[in-house]
Amino acid sequence: MTRTLHERMLLSGNEAVALAALRSGVLLGTGYPGTPSTEILEAFAALGGKAQWAPNEKVALEVGLGAAFGGARALVTMKHVGVNVAADVLFTATYTGVSGGLVLISADDPGMASSQNEQDNRNYARAAGVIMLEPADSQQAYDFTGAGFALSEKFGLPVMLRMTTRVCHSKSIVTQSPLPQPQATPNFKRDVPGRVMIPAHARPAHRRLREKLARAAAYAENCPQTIIEKGSKALGVITSGVVIAHAKEVAPDASFFQLGLSYPLPLNAIKEFVASVDRCVVVEEGDPILETELRAAGLNIEAKPEAFRFGELNADRVRRILEHDNSPEAALAAGKPPMLCEGCSHRPVFETLNKLGCIVSGDIGCYTLGVLPPFSAMDSCVCMGASIGVGLGLRHVLPPEQAKRVVSVIGDSTFIHSGLTGLAEMVYNPPPNGHVLMILDNGTTAMTGQQEHPGTGRDLLHHPTGHVRFEEVIHAMGIRHVVTIDPMADAVALENAIIEALDSGQLAVIVARKPCILAAPKIRVYERAAAEKMMATE
Amino acid sequence: MKKVTNVVVAGLGGQGVVKASDILADAAFRAGMDVKKSEIHGMSQRGGSVASDVRFGERVNSPMITRGEADCLLVIAPDQVDVNRHVLKSDGVLVSPDTVANIGKIQAKTVNVALLGVLSTHLDIPVPLWEEAIRANLAEKHHKLNIEAFQRGREAARSTQA
Ligand SMILES: Cc1ncc(C[n+]2csc(CCOP(=O)(O)OP(=O)(O)O)c2C)c(N)n1
Ligand code: SF4
């Protein structure tokens, strides 16, 4: 599977991160799928790196942190909302610090091409105290990933590399240069005060963190990621990430300050830059973070109007910001929205839920499209795993005739990701009239491009591994009414199974199992390969 | 500023929009140009609108093409022409699926590459580089059909331009 590598390559930002991780001696890559980050681990594996899908982002970051405690370099990938799940780890990992380089990729999605929110994870760098790098294109994705591992080791801190959809999925030219190599091989060194965060250890650890960040700020003042390009004195632009490319498009003669290392800020260099130009504009995608911090530092800068906080920036929007053009922006052309595929096994489930007039507490995956006509069978969708908790909350408070119609619907990958704790809640705090959970097991993480997960029993490269069997888990957790059904086989049987579960007034779980029609041919190939391998070794 | 060529490739999920733009970007890359290519590809499901921006020239900054800036717009799905027309310059070239409607039977799967054949007659990238790019971006078993489709597209374009 290893591909030949050329010096000059046309790569996506995601591929560039994977290549740099490999060339930086990363021993373990882990993460949970999420657009636009998913291809990083897949590319890392295709290049021959050791990569694995974790059940969710929190576990992924824990595994990565353990590897880094052990002195290895580790890469952890996730989309922006994944960092919310992993945040509990992150906020104390900055206290413990790391021995081996730990780079966490946060792939943000300004404009929400495929996300439920457009949170700006530059906020996490400030909140958790983690060094942040923000590449603008694939070359920088490569260079900064390499630098990220070295910086993580230099300062003993995790480094967060913030990508955005445009950086992840755009292709541009990468010239490979040698990257800094790990200084040590994995070896356990006991460091109880440094690694065991009881309050007595955590108090000095917090002080250590602030000292490390002060050193990192001093480093940022004059480092390869602080990129200052002197142009005209008339206009200076301060920015980070892909925005620099848009800005150069519309103001080629301006002076530019790209914050490649965007936290902690190189405040002195910024002050000098601001003083060197007649007019200085902070152009940032997302929240007004740099604007607020530079103003707080007493700098005389301009910034974008609130309207540009929403959505992605592009060359035209950057021009509007620079020229104070407040004329209304043309609405984005409405394309054709995505739909559940013809033959999708989620279809009959939502047809039935609609027919039965259920109140559907939904979740995230392809099946969220059950909200659209002709199904129109979803009443809430918040974050991964929320279907169960939200459904239970509704059941607890709604009048009985409504409560009895509430169904939680969750996908297989999502159930593993964050449904298991919801199920524990269901068993522990059952609503008066029970509850019905449907797990739509289509044998893959379809939404993000068909990744494996613990419920498929295959690893990232589709080879057989340990298998978490849903029915066994559900039984073991204390649910008595468990039904498995093929939703494509018989519409009447599906409807009856749901009615029976609703009418039982007990806790019930229905596993609707039928492979995603796009994944099914591949799943058959993996299964055949596994069977052949079994036969050969017997 | 040095001239940059802007091409938008558009269609519906499952039609090979991203594949076509990969091939175009790769061909320009092989021609030694600076190249940026960008699209939003999120959802797995088939059938939603997809558009991909490819920019190439001596030096390319932004990876995105804004309204009214495309030199060429290649559309694979008839109903996506109107949705995307706003990206074209007033004198820009539209390569619509009609262009290859009458070129005899080509497989539906290769319509994207046939349209690249049409597009290639408007661009300054040598044919052998296009063919290398097609081979590099498709599995070997699809090479023959796609190279054929590409050539049919070129012929169709020439016959209408003549
Ligand atoms: C915390 C978090 N991580 C990742 C994602 C991206 N994501 C959304 S749904 C999903 C999984 C969908 O798989 P599954 O539940 O099996 O449903 P399917 O798409 O197969 O129908 C993923 C990875 C997200 N929205 N939030
Ligand atoms: S990709 Fe699979 S799960 Fe998603 S809509 Fe299509 S058939 Fe359904």
Contacts of B42 in chain A (CB under 8 A): 35-36, 113-114
Alpha-carbon distance B85 to nearest alpha carbon in chain A (angstroms)? 10
- Give CA angle at A33 (A406, A343), nearest 5°: 60
Would you say residue A12 has pLDDT above 80?
Answer: yes
Give which of A7, A164, A172, A283 to mutate to test B binding, by max B Cβ within 10 Å: A172
For B30-66, what is each residue's pLDDT tens digit? 999 999 999 877 666 777 899 999 999 999 999 999 9
For A347-362, what is each residue's pLDDT tens digit? 999 999 999 999 999 9
Confidence check on the interface: ipTM exceeds 0.90, yes or no: yes
Query: Which domains are delineated in chain A?
Result: 8-220 (3.40.50.970), 226-322 (3.40.50.920), 346-537 (3.40.50.970)
Contacts of A336 in chain B (CB under 8 A): 12, 47-49, 79-80, 83
Distance A32 CA to ligand 1 centre (A): 9
**B33: closest chain A residue by CA:** A173
Residue A31 parent element (H or E): strand A28-31
C-alpha span between B148 and B126 (Å, rounded): 16
CA distances to A301, A385, A521, B118, B156 from B159, rounded to whole Å, are 58, 57, 41, 11, 5
Would you say residue A298 has pLDDT above 90?
Answer: yes
**Per-residue pLDDT, A38:** 97
Contacts of A518 in chain B (CB under 8 A): 44, 46
Asked if A487 and A367 count as a contact pair (C-beta separation under 8 A), the reply is no
DSSP B64: -
3-state helix, strand, coil in chain B (%, to 5): 45, 25, 30
Distance A438 CA to ligand 1 centre (A): 16
What DSSP assignment string belongs to A484-531?
Answer: EE-TTT-HHHHHHHHHHHHHH-SEEEEEEE---TTTHHHHHHHHHHHH
C-alpha span between A123 and A132 (Å, rounded): 10
Would you say residue A234 has pLDDT above 60?
Answer: yes
Domain extent listing, chain B: 5-161
Would you say residue B108 has pLDDT above 90?
Answer: no
For a pLDDT cut of 70, what percent of chain A falls above it? 99
**Per-residue pLDDT, B2:** 60
Residue A268 parent element (H or E): helix A267-276
Pairing of strands A28-31, A74-79: parallel
For A269-291, what is each residue's pLDDT tens digit? 999 999 999 999 999 999 999 99
Would you say residue A332 has pLDDT above 90?
Answer: no
C-alpha span between A327 and A307 (Å, rounded): 11
pLDDT grade for A4, boundaries at 50, 70 and 90 = low
C-alpha span between A157 and A217 (Å, rounded): 13
pLDDT mean over A237-261? 98
Is B131 near chain A, with CB under 8 Å?
Answer: no
Give the CATH architecture of domain B5-161: 3-Layer(aba) Sandwich (3.40)
Would you say residue A125 has pLDDT above 90?
Answer: yes
pLDDT mean over A506-515? 98
pLDDT grade for B99, boundaries at 50, 70 and 90 = confident
Comparing A111-115, A146-150, A334-338, B136-140, the range with the smallest average pLDDT is A334-338
- Give the SS3 label for residue A70: coil
**Per-residue pLDDT, B115:** 97
Asked if A409 and A362 count as a contact pair (C-beta separation under 8 A), the reply is yes
C-alpha span between A9 and A142 (Å, rounded): 11
DSSP B77: S
pLDDT mean over A390-395? 98
pLDDT mean over B135-158? 95
From A211, A221, A288, A304, select the one nearest A260 (Cα to Cα).
Answer: A221
Give which of A249, A256, A366, A448 to mutate to test B binding, by max B Cβ within 10 Å: A249
Alpha-carbon distance A506 to nearest alpha carbon in chain B (angstroms)? 35
Asked if A185 and A71 count as a contact pair (C-beta separation under 8 A), the reply is yes
Average pLDDT, chain A: 96
Interface of B with A in 47-66 (CB under 8 A): 47-49, 51, 60-64, 66
Single pTM value for the model? 0.97
DSSP A380: B
**Per-residue pLDDT, B162:** 56
Would you say residue A451 has pLDDT above 50?
Answer: yes
Q: What is the largest CA-CA distance in chain B?
A: 43
Can you point out the beta strands (E) in chain B?
Answer: 4-12, 34-39, 49-57, 70-75, 88-95
Structure token pair of residue A282:
């902070």
**Per-residue pLDDT, A5:** 61
For A203-220, what is each residue's pLDDT tens digit? 999 999 999 999 999 999
C-alpha span between B33 and B31 (Å, rounded): 6
Cα B49 to the chain's mean position, in Å? Answer: 15
pLDDT mean over B88-110? 87
**Per-residue pLDDT, A1:** 36
**Per-residue pLDDT, A2:** 40
Would you say residue B103 has pLDDT above 90?
Answer: no
Nearest Cβ partner of B45 from A172, A245, A369? A369
pLDDT mean over A231-243? 98
Asked if A122 and A73 count as a contact pair (C-beta separation under 8 A), the reply is no
